[in-house]
């Protein structure tokens, strides 16, 4: 198992293609998740592979013994899919290598969608100063050489081809040499700023009430100035919430129309056609496998059905559901299959 889940209320993720997210993940009970350089390299290899699969770009990163930070711009695939594969794959590796079992990561990862014009460089600096704050580097010169963050990559002291270097340096100057100098000065100026809790908290925290709380604020004519999942000014927060609400409303409307897992299974079986009872059988018969994959894909995308519920229904593991979702997406695209016209 990779992630420890608690019983606290959860807010729905805000997962918008092309957005910049600050991701923070900690070890369960604050235990170390990187015991040596082999662990760190194994994690980065998985990160590289999953960034490529998701069409995502990484601007900043830092590995601390008991947690890590990433600054990622999402691509075609969702951040949740990228992180699910990254964390599950690494946890399986870690447990196998260190002969342990059980959860490795604390709760779900924390992701904060960021207003890049205002906060991209601030977050870049904050993340790359983490090893210095954690005393993994004794001083700023040592930070320049610290191999387990993106800072050394931007200084061209370390090569990580998967890290987006050119785009970031172009924000500082037209020439690489001057851009590197200005970038380093910019990060050095942040040493005296301390922990910067505003960069990890996302502003005003709203009460645990889900989307209903958001709508109540609006109906009362109140200005919702912030959200714990978003880092940005009021206008940015409002725009992102509106986009997320539109996506949520689409799923809610389908549920109101009577769509649920049972109906999804029924309609998919009729379309292919496949006998519903055959879905519970083990094996890889082509038509049955296709049906399962489409149900997993449409269930996640159309109705927001959790991976856990799909896994329980089919009697398969969560990683198998993730694999089925990817397969179902390809089948739907190649065959131009749509459940709703």
Please list the rounded mean pLDDT of every run of 10 residues in the chain (341 residues): 45 64 90 97 97 92 97 85 92 96 84 72 92 94 96 96 94 94 94 64 36 46 47 53 58 70 86 81 74 88 80 82 84 76 50
Res 180: pLDDT: 97
Res 311: pLDDT: 85
Concatenating the DSSP letter of every residue in 145-201 gives H-TTBSHHHHTTSS--TTB--HHHHTTT-SSHHHHHHHHHHHHHHTGGGTT-THHHH
Contacts of 136 (CB under 8 A, 6+ apart): 64, 146, 148
Bridge partners, residue 296, by sequence: none
Helices (H), 55-175: 79-97, 116-128, 130-133, 140-145, 151-154, 166-169
Concatenating the DSSP letter of every residue in 316-341 gives --HHHHHHHHHHHHHHHHHHT--S--
Angle at 293 between CA 289 and CA 297, to 5 degrees: 175
CATH of domain 3-193: 3.30.70.1290
298-335 confidence digits (pLDDT tens): 887 777 787 778 888 888 887 788 788 888 888 888 87
Q: Which tokens belong to 62?
A: 């830092």
Q: Is the pTM of this model over 0.75?
A: no
135-158 confidence digits (pLDDT tens): 999 999 999 999 999 999 999 999
Give CATH 1.10.1750.10 domain extents, the chain.
Answer: 261-335
Res 223: pLDDT: 40
**Packing angle of the helix pair 307-314, 261-271 (nearest 10 deg):** 60
Res 169: pLDDT: 94
Bridge partners, residue 24, by sequence: 69, 110
Cα separation of the two ends of the chain? 39
* CA-closest candidate to residue 26, choices 52, 2, 51, 50: 2
Res 21: pLDDT: 86
Res 182: pLDDT: 96
Q: Long-range contacts of range 182-190, CB-CB < 8 Å, 24 or more positions apart?
A: 183/154, 183/155, 184/144, 184/155, 186/121, 186/125, 187/125, 187/128, 187/129, 187/151, 188/140, 190/125, 190/126, 190/129
Give CATH 3.30.70.1290 domain extents, the chain.
Answer: 3-193
Contacts of 88 (CB under 8 A, 6+ apart): 2, 318, 319, 322
* Domain 261-335 class in CATH: mainly alpha
Asked whether 71 and 59 are in contact (CB, 8 A), the reply is yes
12 secondary structure, DSSP code: P
Res 200: pLDDT: 58
Res 256: pLDDT: 65
Res 221: pLDDT: 45
Res 187: pLDDT: 95
Res 164: pLDDT: 94
Res 307: pLDDT: 78
């Amino acid at each position: 198992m990779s992630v420890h889940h608690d019983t606290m209320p959860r807010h729905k993720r805000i997962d918008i293609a092309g957005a910049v997210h600050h991701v923070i993940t900690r070890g369960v009970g604050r235990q170390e998740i990187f015991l040596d350089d082999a662990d760190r390299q194994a994690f980065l290899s998985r990160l590289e592979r999953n960034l490529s699969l998701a069409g995502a770009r990484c601007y900043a990163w830092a590995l601390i013994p008991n947690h890590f930070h990433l600054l990622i711009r999402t691509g075609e695939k969702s951040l949740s899919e990228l992180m699910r594969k990254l964390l599950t794959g690494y946890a399986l590796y870690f447990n196998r290598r260190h002969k342990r079992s059980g959860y490795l990561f604390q709760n779900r990862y924390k992701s904060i969608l960021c207003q890049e014009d205002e906060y991209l460089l601030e977050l870049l600096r904050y993340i790359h100063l983490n090893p210095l704050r954690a005393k993994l580097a004794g001083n700023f010169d040592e930070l320049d050489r610290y191999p387990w963050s993106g800072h050394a990559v931007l200084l061209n002291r370390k090569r990580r081809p998967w890290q987006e270097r050119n785009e970031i340096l172009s924000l500082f100057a037209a020439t690489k040499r001057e851009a590197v100098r200005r970038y380093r000065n910019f990060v050095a100026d942040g040493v005296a700023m301390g922990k910067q809790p505003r960069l990890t908290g996302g502003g005003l925290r709203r009460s645990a009430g889900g989307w209903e709380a958001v709508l109540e604020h609006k109906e009362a004519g109140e200005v919702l100035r912030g959200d714990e999942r978003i880092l940005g000014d009021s206008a940015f927060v409002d725009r992102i919430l509106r986009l997320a609400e539109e996506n949520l409303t689409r799923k809610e409307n389908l549920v109101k129309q009577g769509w649920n897992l049972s109906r999804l299974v029924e309609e998919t079986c009729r379309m292919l056609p496949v006998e519903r009872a055959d879905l519970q059988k083990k094996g890889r018969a082509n038509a049955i496998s296709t049906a399962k994959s489409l149900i997993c894909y449409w269930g996640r995308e159309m109705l927001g059905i959790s991976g856990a519920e799909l896994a329980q229904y089919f009697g398969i593991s969560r990683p198998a559901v993730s694999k089925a979702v990817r397969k179902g997406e390809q089948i739907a695209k190649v065959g131009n299959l749509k459940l709703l016209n």
